[in-house]
Structure 1
Amino acid sequence: MPGQLPAPADDFTAAEGILRRQAQRESAARTYARALPVVPVRARGMTVEGADG
């Protein structure tokens, strides 16, 4: 499916790594990612599916 990321062996660890990298690189002017600790894999309308399900 387009836009879908392949699932790594350990989804939780992969999501944590992405969130850590995002926290290091993202500007402090954006706070949504810190308030919502999710790695979006798929979204449609108001539904967002995270990497950890």
Structure 2
Amino acid sequence: MQWIIIVSSFIFGLYQLRYRLLNVITQVPGLRKILVRASMNIPWLRQRLLSNIFQQE
């Protein structure tokens, strides 16, 4: 029971700091490269990003 409280408070803390963590990750070139590669391996995310980039107007 106690580990559930610890894990849930940890997840809640990460959720509150998500934008700060993302800013820290994107400031480091190596981590940014890994983040972009990982996100491009997710098919629905890749399709959504590429369709917005190459949109016909």
TM-score (norm 1): 0.41
**Greater fraction helix:** 2
Higher relative contact order (CA 8 A, sep 6+): 1
**Greater fraction strand:** 1
TM-score (norm 2): 0.38
